[in-house]
Amino acid sequence: MPGTTTKDAESIEPQSLKRALDLPPPVPEAKKIRLSHKIKVAFGGVEPVSQTGTSSASVSSLHERNFSTSALMESTRWPRPEWHAPWKNYRVIQGHLGWVRSVAFDPSNKWFCTGSADRTIKMWDVATGVLKLTLTGHIDQVRALAVSNRHKYMFSAGDDKQVKCWDLEQNKVIRSYHGHLSGVHCLALHPTEDVLLTGGRDSVCRVWDIRTKRQRFALTGHDNTVCSVFTRPTHPQIVTGSHDTTIKFWDLRYGGKAMTTLTHHKKSVRAMTLHPKEDAFASASADNTKKFSLPKGEFCHNMLSQQKTIINAMAVNEDGVMVTGGDNGSIWFWDWKSGHSFQQSQTSVQPGSLESEAGIYAACYDQTGSRLVTCEADKTIKMWKQDENATPETHPVNFKPPKVIRRF
């Protein structure tokens, strides 16, 4: 070596030879680029170990860059929300003497009915909001309503354990369905069959034959109140949501057997809504609002914001505008496809009502999806429509793709 004396070279040469003998055999080129699958646990994380002597820090930074790139690609694939005009309250209807708990539209879209804690059912003209008729017969608050699209019938259910069928030509009760052991909180009609579904505080969803009044099935399996129920015209499937935080799928072909149980929510599932065109539905709870596909109930995604209140009501129209109403009077409008909340409003309590009476208990779109009715704790009914003067320029979409996509 230049600049090294002969004595120094003699002392270095044995040591260099010894180190050379201790070296491992050369690694083939194919193995130099291969990383082992060994995992080194350090500081609560995982770190890949290279066989080629590559520093773990450089490998870790490489994986971080790859992860960041993949996460960015994942977030950019998130669907961008469609533009929707904001909704505004254009009419407040008064007439009930108690909380308004339920609403349903006539298939002809000429009138709608509401049920209240004052034990009455009232029918209102859609165009003018004028009261047309008041029906009495329940002895406790009316929790659920449905109007048949096959017959001139309306169905009601309440905390008095009663389920009634009303003849709309005679405006009187023609059938009652007995079987629930406590208050009935929800009901639904099958779109193509003479089948009625009711769910209540006795934790049971009951399936009735409309004409014979016979109970066909008692769907047992929930551990608490059944709050919401729906069915589809193309599938013999019933979906129920409960205070026990679960959503259950039942199949009528197998005697009403529970086929699937969804446990994604951690709080009571008080409301669900079925999309009128897609094979999908959404469920609402105090923890989050979630979207699932049908018929298997596969989880799609959470809505991108949290309303942070108990959600009692939700509905979606064919244009993909979903609305949720909260116990604190908040009303949020969402883009169905992306889960983006494009409008967050607060309902106004009417003069003479307490501020605590700001809850929204029911919501329903009309048959065209252009008008919305909400039923509220201040004893009023509010009607909403889109702002015709709004444009994408005056109300732009304020949307940022989520950085972290929760898959549960």
* Residue 397 lies inside a defined structural domain of this protein: no
| Residues 65 and 98 occupy one common structural domain | no
| Residues 140 and 220 occupy one common structural domain | yes
Q: Which two tokens stand for residue 49?
A: 């170990």
| Residues 91 and 173 occupy one common structural domain | yes
* Residue 271 lies inside a defined structural domain of this protein: yes
> Could you write out the DSSP letters of every residue in 265-332?
-SS---EEEE-SSSSEEEEE-SS-EEEEETTT--EEEE-SS---S-EEEEEE-TTSEEEEEETTSEEE
| Residues 93 and 58 occupy one common structural domain | no
Alpha-carbon 32 to chain mean position: 51
Measured between alpha carbons, how far is 295 from 292 in angstroms, rounded to an integer? 9
* Residue 28 lies inside a defined structural domain of this protein: no
* Residue 1 lies inside a defined structural domain of this protein: no
**51, 77, 103 - which closes a domain:** 77
Mean pLDDT of 181-201: 96
* Residue 376 lies inside a defined structural domain of this protein: yes
* Residue 45 lies inside a defined structural domain of this protein: yes
Q: Which amino acid is at 74?
A: E
| Residues 287 and 319 occupy one common structural domain | yes
Establish whether the linkage from the previous residue to 236 is cis, with ω within 30° of 0: no
| Residues 53 and 95 occupy one common structural domain | no
Mean pLDDT of 80-109: 95
Distances (CA, A) of 229 to 24, 28, 151: 69, 65, 21
Mean pLDDT of 117-133: 97
* Residue 108 lies inside a defined structural domain of this protein: yes
pLDDT per residue as tens digits for the range 218-237: 999 999 999 999 999 888 89
Q: Which amino acid is at 154?
A: M
| Residues 50 and 119 occupy one common structural domain | no
> Could you write out the DSSP letters of every residue in 123-155?
EEETTT--EEEEEE--SS-EEEEEE-SSSSEEE
Place of tokens 């989880």: 299
Q: Which two tokens stand for residue 135?
A: 């029906």
Measured between alpha carbons, how far is 290 from 263 in angstroms, rounded to an integer? 12
Measured between alpha carbons, how far is 329 from 84 in angstroms, rounded to an integer? 22
| Residues 107 and 180 occupy one common structural domain | yes
CATH classification of the domain holding 217: 2.130.10.10
- For the sheet containing 204-209, what is the strand order? 184-189, 195-200, 204-209, 215-220
Residue 62's domain comprises: 37-77
* Residue 27 lies inside a defined structural domain of this protein: no
8 A C-beta contact, residue 198 and residue 184: yes
Q: How many CB atoms lie within 10 A of CB 99?
A: 17
Claim: this prediction has a pTM higher than 0.75: yes
Query: Which range among 34-43, 52-61, 275-284, 390-399 has the greatest average pLDDT?
Result: 275-284
| Residues 50 and 173 occupy one common structural domain | no
| Residues 64 and 207 occupy one common structural domain | no
Residue 83 has pLDDT above 70, yes or no: yes
* pLDDT at res. 78: 76
Measured between alpha carbons, how far is 81 from 138 in angstroms, rounded to an integer? 44
Binned at pLDDT 50, 70 and 90, residue 23 comes out as very low
| Residues 359 and 338 occupy one common structural domain | yes
Burial class (CB in 10 A: 0-12, 13-18, 19+), 59: middle
| Residues 66 and 193 occupy one common structural domain | no
Place of tokens 């008095």: 160
* pLDDT at res. 405: 54
Q: Domain count of the chain?
A: 2
